[in-house]
Amino acid sequence: MMTPSYVLLYVDSPESSAAFYSKILGLTPVEASPTFYLFILDSGHKLGLWSKHTVEPAATSSGGSELAFAVGDNATVDSTYNSWAARGITMAQTPCSMDFGYTFVAQDPDGHRLRVFAPA
């Protein structure tokens, strides 16, 4: 069976998006070109940022994805929220309890959702 190992997000400006993700992930891209940046996450999965203007076949939309970051506890959710908000990252949802845990949602420059949560 095949297992996905890459998440590719179509973005307006790969360079700007890479700067954004470098800050929140604390990582440096392992590949960089005018149309594509690649991060290797601690889990071994890869996050690619591909120009929505050059992806082939052409993408029909962008900004509709969600990356979820599971953390250990509610305090980490709150501290991450406060840190990201202080950096001016757009917030779509303030910290709250939901059926799966305590969570908030931020957005990257292209509107992709970034959910941080402590599982219930």
Query: For the chain, where do the domains classified as CATH 3.30.720.120 start and end?
Result: 6-51
For residue 104, what are its two tokens?
């908030």
The reported pLDDT for the residue numbered 13 is 96
Query: For the chain, where do the domains classified as CATH 3.10.180.10 start and end?
Result: 66-119
Pick from 14, 13, 54: nearest CA to 36: 14
The reported pLDDT for the residue numbered 4 is 82
The reported pLDDT for the residue numbered 68 is 95
The reported pLDDT for the residue numbered 63 is 66
Q: In terms of CATH architecture, what is 66-119?
A: Roll (3.10)
β pairing state of 66-70 and 113-119? parallel
The reported pLDDT for the residue numbered 64 is 75
Q: pLDDT tens digit string along 31-78?
A: 999 999 999 999 999 999 999 999 999 887 766 789 999 999 999 999
Neighbours of 34 (CB within 10 A): 10
At 1, is the pLDDT very low, low, confident or very high (cuts 50, 70, 90)?
confident
Q: pLDDT tens digit string along 72-104?
A: 999 999 999 999 999 999 999 999 999 999 999
pLDDT at 11 over 80: yes
> How many residues would you count in the chain?
120
| Domain 6-51 CATH class label | alpha beta
In 3-state terms, what secondary structure has residue 55? coil
Half-sphere exposure for 86 (CA within 13 Å, toward CB): 8
pLDDT at 12 over 90: yes
Q: pTM for the whole thing? A: 0.89
The reported pLDDT for the residue numbered 84 is 97
Q: Are the C-beta atoms of 57 and 18 separated by less than 8 Å?
A: no
